[in-house]
Each structure stands twice: as structure tokens, then as C-alpha cells.
Structure 1
Amino acid sequence: MNRLTKALGAVALIGSMGAGTAQADDLSFMSFTYAEEANTATVQGLLDGFKAADGLTVEPLGFAWGDMQKNIFLRARSNTLPNVAQLSERWLPTFASLDQLVDLNTVYGQENLEATFAADALAMGNINGKQFALPLISGSIGMVANKAVLDQAGVEAPTTVAEFKDALIAVRDNVPNSVPYTMATKNNGSILIDFMIWNWVHGGSIIDAEGKVVVDSPESRSALQFMVDLLNERLAAPEIDRPDSRRLLAQGASAFYFDAPQTRTFLRDFSGQGEAFDVNVLPLKTPVLNEGDASTSVQWGHLLVQFAPGATATAEDPADKFLSYLTSDAVQTEFPLKMSALPVTNSARAAVADDAYLTAWAEATGASRANEVGIWSNAADMTTIIGEEVQGALLGQKSVDDAITAMQTRLTESMANATPAS
């Protein structure tokens, strides 16, 4: 597939033929990747490539990852939404109720989209049968290690939780001024991911498939106690967010953390070594509680959404030509690899199947699970609740029992009027 429009037929193709007379700023694109210093030039390259291919100019709107949701809602209130926005896959349910959000099935056709995109990637943007987003890159959130730090500490890659803790102790004792595991201890969105994964590892869950809050359990208490113990034993540290984790691991001051496959791109930049640092980036299966347990990770990806008056659009609109370009083979066989992520179309995945890093990441993914909080309409509120309660326990402001009990109560109240988003 050379263009999504090629798969969609003559209508979209005809729409692209008149692009030569386009004026500047034909559309706007809000992107958190554009705001990342390591990736600004890469995204600008996409915008330049789109202009060369279609004669259309894109106004980039860069906002930090943590500010994206707030700014989209502010722009919705002031009627200044961008034409296209990049989202983390877990945010989509939060915006599903916006009147301007386009169901892209109405633009491209459901059958054409299903034929073009990998099923797992396309599913991230589907809510109740409506395709509110197209995938841009995909993968999972799993464990990453710095092989050089493991070698310095004299340890092998751990497979069980017990081995993981032993490895952390070895790093603490043998790598000066290190934070062995840069566990997320600030930013509610980051804390949620670490707690959710360790909760799964210990056999717990936050919300079941029917929407019942089930976090008040011995398993969830064990998971949170495990995290508290790591902090108390100086195997983790306070005031750590995902960007801090990336910097510390890239600088040889950390051995482990959770991230998406695009971590390699950040580590190249933060290490100052570029691709030479790749030999140290080691994707690992998340340690399991007991040998024989299935390792787990969180489904992950970046999505593209379109906003339009009345949520009405056609394949001939500049924004839809931009979406077609971003999901074309020309982009999907290059951009995801620059971001150290998986392409989202069937044809692009086949074309890059020999990438060693992505193959290693796929092998380490294990039994990937959907973000069990993100599928609900009140995901933002629940993320805040979980982050606050976990942080309260980590900082010693309340006991593990009190934190889990409060989490159960607050989440149950939040779920009273929630609806499943997918």
C-alpha cells in the first residue's frame, strides 16, 4: 500500500489531485511528539514530506505530553480545536463525547480501514463500533534494562520478582549514586502504569470487565507493599517521572524502568551517544511472581484524531489527506522505526519484519493487556485517584491498607456514573 487513499478508491484519489493550489496553514496538528526535543526534527520532517507530496502546509502545535488533554479541552471550549491531534491510546475515551470528534469510518469506510491496518492497532482507536482514531505507532509498555549497568552490578536479566529485587540490591550496592529501578513516583498518569503492571504481576486487578472496582484485595495490597518496600530500601526514589527514568537510565544511573518501545529513541538522545547506545538497551519480559506465570505488559500506541464542525469530514479534506499520508507506506516504514515503535499497517509491518530491536521487544511483550482504567469514560478521574493513593503510600503519608481502602471507596464513587468506552 502506497497511500491509504489508494486502498480507499478513486474518490479520495481524485480529492488529492487539486492540492497544488493550497495555501499556507491548510490544517493544524497538535502533537506531543513535536514538543519533545529529541523528536521535533523528525515530526517536522513528516510535515515537510506531506507538503512535498500533497502541496498542503501544516501548522504544528507542540504541547508536552502531560499538558495535551488539558489543552484539547480548553480549545474545545473556545472552539479552537486543531484539525488533527496526536493522542496516547489511553486518552481516547476521555474525548469520545466531544461533538467535533470525527468517526473515521464515515470518511474512509470500515471495510477499507480493516483491510489496511493491523487489527490490534486499529482496535485502539475504536469505541463502540466508531473509529474515532487511526493508529500512528503501536507496541506495548514493558520493562527496559540498561545492559551495561547490569554488567557493572554483576547480575543477569531477572525473570522472577525475587530475582528482580536481588538485581536491584546488587545495582544499589555496586553502582554508585544509582537509582536501581526508576519507578514512577510522581505524575498520576505514570504512577498508574507502574502500579497497574505490578498489580497484575501479583494477581490483582483494579476494575473487572463489568465495571466493578476490585482493587481492595490481598493481591493489590501485596503489589502496593512491594512498591513501598522498594522505595524504603533505596531501590527506587521519590520524585521520578518517565522523563527522569529515561535520563537516568541513559546516563548509566539506573538499571530498570517501564516504558514503550520508543524509549530507544529517547535513550539515544539522552545518552549523547546516538545509535551507539543501542547495545545497552535491553527489552525484558516483566518479572513474574512465580516461575511459570505468564509475563505481562500494557497495550500501547499513539493515535490520530480529527476534529471538524459537526464531526463531518470527507477524504478530500486537507486533514484527511494528512491522515492518509501519515499512514502511508512511505511514512509507516520509516517514522515508527525512528520512534522505535511498530508500524500500524499490514503492509508496513511486513516490510520491516527484520528489525532486530522490534523483534526483541515483541518477544518480551508477553501477555499484553489493555489499560483497564483507560477503557472507561471517567478514566482521567480514576487515574488521579489511583495516582494520589499510591503516592500517599509511597511517601509514607498513609499505610498500604488505608491507601487501598481509600482507593476502593473513591474509585467506586467515580464509577457510579461511568460507562464503558470500548
Structure 2
Amino acid sequence: MRTMKRMAGALGLAAAMATGPNIAHAADVSFMSFTYAEQAGKPSVEKMVEGFKDQTKLTVEPIGYAWGDMQKNLFLRARSRTLPDVAQLSERWLPSVASLPGLVDLNTVYGKDKLEAIFAPDALAIGRLGDKQLALPLISGSIGMIANKAVLEKGGIADLPTTVEDFRKDLVAVRDKVPNSVPYTMATKNNGSILIDFMLWNWVFGGQLIDGQGKAVVDSDASRQALAFMVGLVKDRLAAPEIDRPDARRLMAQGASAFFFDAPQARTFLRNFSGEGEAFDKNVAPIKTPVLHQGDQSTSIQWGHLLVQFASGASAKPDAPADQFLTYLTSDAVQTQFPVEQSALPVTKSARQAVSNDPYLAAWAQATGRARANEVGIWSNAAELTTIVGEEVQGALLGQKSADEAIASMQKRLATSMASARK
């Protein structure tokens, strides 16, 4: 919480110094993007920038930061009054970024009714806080489970698992029959990644972290069972320490993992890391998250990338260069190409219809089940909550404390953080 307060102090200073960011760039638009910092995604961003220039004669300066560094650098830029015109966000960051100076309510630029007519409702919703449209969606989907069919075949597994019991049996088969494999590349490092895996398994077992009123409720039998299940996977060498999402993608692409959780854009990473390109697609199977009991509803996490705009006085008009860039990024020309290249769903109604014949995206939509909001990401103290969950889960996975002890400590720390955030 001290970190969040220091950030809040920095923002207060920035807000006191100016009504918005100091926009002064060599190009017409500055675009801060984590996809631009990724080897697999950089060419796609460059293509969008060039396409916008060809259409409008306006120039864009892309600024790349790694996904894990984006929030920190946005806060630092707020302090130095060098926020970009447009920035790419993960959907879970929006609550913490909402207090940055100069953030534009895009309803005031384009009109609420017009946006609702253009965008798919589920996609538009992830950029909304209260009655303000603080972001437009760029790509959308969910975080769910992906299987490697080639690895399952080596493990002698013919049918995809539907229950937790089936899932564990398949992991054992892969461990015993596929040498040097990590059957399930569960996130065991990086608090942000650990949170996702624990949240999903916690839901599978019937648990919850924080209820709709902001009360910590993780101290439950369901949550203890979920964490004990994850601890058992590491203990039995069905998962491994020191695995983050990039590690999972590489192991999956190298034929050394059978299952992991990721967003649909995983296909793009797997194509790249395998060295096989689209030929690797035959191995990639989006599947429903296994359920505890046959008949339970499968679950996933709402996911997407967002676009936010910063402007002096938090005010903008549709013909401003940054707003023309936003319009271009959400046009059919981009939405029928960029999301598909990133193996994600387009965000507009017309673009979704245009790419409805993509078998991978169709399979992903079928496997989504009940997509639930990230129950940590919606709170202003999301960064601290993520740290708490990650540290406690990792402590249990590494054997530093029991699952019961980790859940009890998590409950206490989450409750303290939520109480402080409401003050």
C-alpha cells in the first residue's frame, strides 16, 4: 500500500503542476505499447503505424516497454509530464491508471451511442469504469486453458480432460511418458502470472478472493483445497518452480508441456517460438478449464488490450491526430488483421463477423465457458492485492508454509489492504 500511496503522491504533484500531460513530440502522435516491445508483435505495430500514415499523412512515434514495466513507466511519465498521446493497457490495469492526469473519457469524444453501435458489448465493457468510457478495446478474448495435442499424443492421451481428476491423470501420464517435460506449466513466479492461475483454480474449486462489496473472502475450505491442489502438482513434479508465462509459452512451443493458461494470443507466441509458424497450429487446442464435478460450468477470465488517450484538460475532439489514430486502430482495416495476427478476437461487431471463419478463434469462443472479471484488477489497490496473492501462493508452492497457513495470511493481508483502500 505504501507503493500505491507514493504513486498517488506523484500523481497529485503532476496534477498540481498541470491539468494534463505536456504533449510535445516529434511525431503527430506518440503511442506507448507493450506489443511493440515484443519480438512477435513489433512487426504488427509497425504495419499499423505505416497504414495510418498512408491513410492520413500523420506520423506516429511508437514507444515500447515490456508488459511488466508499462504501469511503472506510465506513472513515471505522469510525474515528468511526458505521458504519451495514446497508450496500450492490459484490461486489469485500467482502475489503477484511471487517476492519471489528462485521461480522456472517450464518450465525450465519440458519443456513447456511437461507440455502442460499433463495438461488441463485451469488448466495450472492459474499457468502462462507472459511466465513463476511459478506454477503447483493441483486442479481446479471455484467459483459458490451452493443450498441446502433440504432447498429449506422446503421453498416450486420446481425449481432452474435462474434470480436475481427468486433468491430473493426464499430467501424470505426460510426466511418465514424455522425458524432460513440465506437464502443466503453471505460473510459479511473477505475482501477476501467479494470480491468474490461482484465481482460475480457486474458481474451479468454488472459492473467491474478494466479493463485490470489497470484502476479502479467501479464507474458505474451497480456497484451501484449490491451493493444496496446486501445491500437490509441484510436489509431484506435474508443475515446476520458476515458471512464468513466457517460460510456459516456450516450453509449450518446444513440445515440453501439455497444458497452460494463457490468452488467445498464445497462438502467435507459439508460432514464433516453435520456429514452425502456422504449421504449429495443428498442435494448439483451446479447451474448457477442467471442472471439479461433471456438470459444473467451466470458467475463464475476461481479457483484452485497451487503448487510452491522454490530453491537456482531459479533453479531445474526433479530428485530433490522437483520436484519428484511435479511430484507425478500431477500423475494419486494422481489426480484421491485427487481432487475428495476435490470435485474439476483434472488438467491433463488423470485424468479428468478417473473421468468424477462423477455426482457432471459433474454438476459443467455444471453450470460454463463463468469462468472469478479474476480481483483483477492478480495485484501485490492484497492484498491492496482486503482490499479496502472488507472495502467499508462491510461499506455499515452494514449501515455505502450508496451504492453510498461506490462505490465512492471504486473508489477513487482503482484508488490511482493502480496508486501507476504502479510507
Task: With the length of structure 1 as denominator, give the TM-score of the two structures.
Answer: 0.93
Corresponding residue for 1:199? 202
Give, as a single letter, the amino acid of the residue that structure 2 aligns with 1:205.
Q
Residue 24 of structure 1: CA displacement?
5.5
* Paired positions, count: 398
Corresponding residue for 1:248? 251
- Structure 1 counterpart SS, 2:377: coil
Residues 78 and 101 in structure 2, CA contact (< 8 A), matched pair in contact too = no
Q: Does 1:68 align with 2:70?
A: yes
Residues 392 and 409 in structure 2, CA contact (< 8 A), matched pair in contact too = yes
Q: Does 1:405 align with 2:408?
A: yes
Residue 212 of structure 1: CA displacement?
1.0
1:89 alignment partner, one of 84, 88, 91: 91
Corresponding residue for 1:299? 302
Write out per-residue CA displacement over residues 178-198 of structure 1, whole angstroms, 9 at most, x where no aligned residue.
000000001111000000000
Superposed, 1:127-146 pairs within 5 Å as 127-146=129-148
Q: Does 1:177 align with 2:177?
A: no
1:212 alignment partner, one of 209, 212, 215: 215
Give, as a single letter, the amino acid of the residue that structure 2 aligns with 1:146.
N
Root-mean-square deviation (CA, aligned residues, Å) is 1.1
Corresponding residue for 1:123? 125
Between the aligned partners of 1:115 and 1:38, the Cα distance in structure 2 is 32
Between the aligned partners of 1:32 and 1:24, the Cα distance in structure 2 is 20
Give, as a single letter, the amino acid of the residue that structure 2 aligns with 1:57.
T
Give, as a single letter, the amino acid of the residue that structure 1 aligns with 2:33.
S
Between the aligned partners of 1:98 and 1:59, the Cα distance in structure 2 is 21
Residues 145 and 288 in structure 2, CA contact (< 8 A), matched pair in contact too = yes
Write out per-residue CA displacement over residues 212-264 of structure 1, whole angstroms, 9 at most, x where no aligned residue.
11000000000000000000100001110000000000000000000000000
Between the aligned partners of 1:248 and 1:39, the Cα distance in structure 2 is 19
- Structure 2 counterpart SS, 1:237: coil
Residue 98 of structure 1: CA displacement?
1.3
1:266 alignment partner, one of 263, 266, 269: 269
Task: With the length of structure 2 as denominator, give the TM-score of the two structures.
Answer: 0.93
- Structure 1 counterpart SS, 2:295: coil
Residue 418 of structure 1: CA displacement?
3.1
* Distance verdict in 2 for CA 1:356–1:387, change over 3 Å: same
Between the aligned partners of 1:401 and 1:175, the Cα distance in structure 2 is 33
Corresponding residue for 1:148? 150
Give, as a single letter, the amino acid of the residue that structure 2 aligns with 1:402.
E
Corresponding residue for 1:187? 190
Give, as a single letter, the amino acid of the residue that structure 2 aligns with 1:324.
T
Between the aligned partners of 1:98 and 1:70, the Cα distance in structure 2 is 12
Write out per-residue CA displacement over residues 53-105 of structure 1, whole angstroms, 9 at most, x where no aligned residue.
11111111111101111110010111111110000000000111112111001
Give, as a single letter, the amino acid of the residue that structure 2 aligns with 1:60.
P
Superposed, 1:45-60 pairs within 5 Å as 45-60=47-62
* Distance verdict in 2 for CA 1:50–1:86, change over 3 Å: same
Residue 351 of structure 1: CA displacement?
1.1
Residues 332 and 348 in structure 1, CA contact (< 8 A), matched pair in contact too = yes
Between the aligned partners of 2:245 and 2:256, the Cα distance in structure 1 is 14
Q: Which moved further from structure 2: 344-353 or 262-271?
A: 344-353
Corresponding residue for 2:18? none
Write out per-residue CA displacement over residues 256-279 of structure 1, whole angstroms, 9 at most, x where no aligned residue.
000000000000000000000000
Corresponding residue for 1:9? none
Corresponding residue for 2:115? 113
Superposed, 1:252-401 pairs within 5 Å as 252-401=255-404
Structure 2 stretches lacking a partner, 5+ long: 1-24
Residue 399 of structure 1: CA displacement?
1.2
Write out per-residue CA displacement over residues 339-365 of structure 1, whole angstroms, 9 at most, x where no aligned residue.
111000011111111111110000000
Corresponding residue for 2:14? none
Between the aligned partners of 1:90 and 1:137, the Cα distance in structure 2 is 14
Between the aligned partners of 1:399 and 1:264, the Cα distance in structure 2 is 36
Residues 206 and 213 in structure 1, CA contact (< 8 A), matched pair in contact too = yes
Give, as a single letter, the amino acid of the residue that structure 1 aligns with 2:151.
V
Residue 334 of structure 1: CA displacement?
0.9
Residues 342 and 358 in structure 1, CA contact (< 8 A), matched pair in contact too = yes
* Distance verdict in 2 for CA 1:132–1:99, change over 3 Å: same
Give, as a single letter, the amino acid of the residue that structure 2 aligns with 1:71.
N
Give, as a single letter, the amino acid of the residue that structure 1 aligns with 2:414.
L
Residues 377 and 419 in structure 1, CA contact (< 8 A), matched pair in contact too = no
Between the aligned partners of 2:362 and 2:222, the Cα distance in structure 1 is 32
Give, as a single letter, the amino acid of the residue that structure 2 aligns with 1:383.
T
Residues 185 and 237 in structure 1, CA contact (< 8 A), matched pair in contact too = yes
- Structure 1 counterpart SS, 2:39: coil
- Structure 2 counterpart SS, 1:34: helix
Residue 419 of structure 1: CA displacement?
5.7
- Structure 2 counterpart SS, 1:145: strand
Give, as a single letter, the amino acid of the residue that structure 2 aligns with 1:203.
G
Between the aligned partners of 1:107 and 1:45, the Cα distance in structure 2 is 26
Give, as a single letter, the amino acid of the residue that structure 2 aligns with 1:279.
K
Identity of aligned residues (%): 72
Residues 178 and 253 in structure 1, CA contact (< 8 A), matched pair in contact too = yes
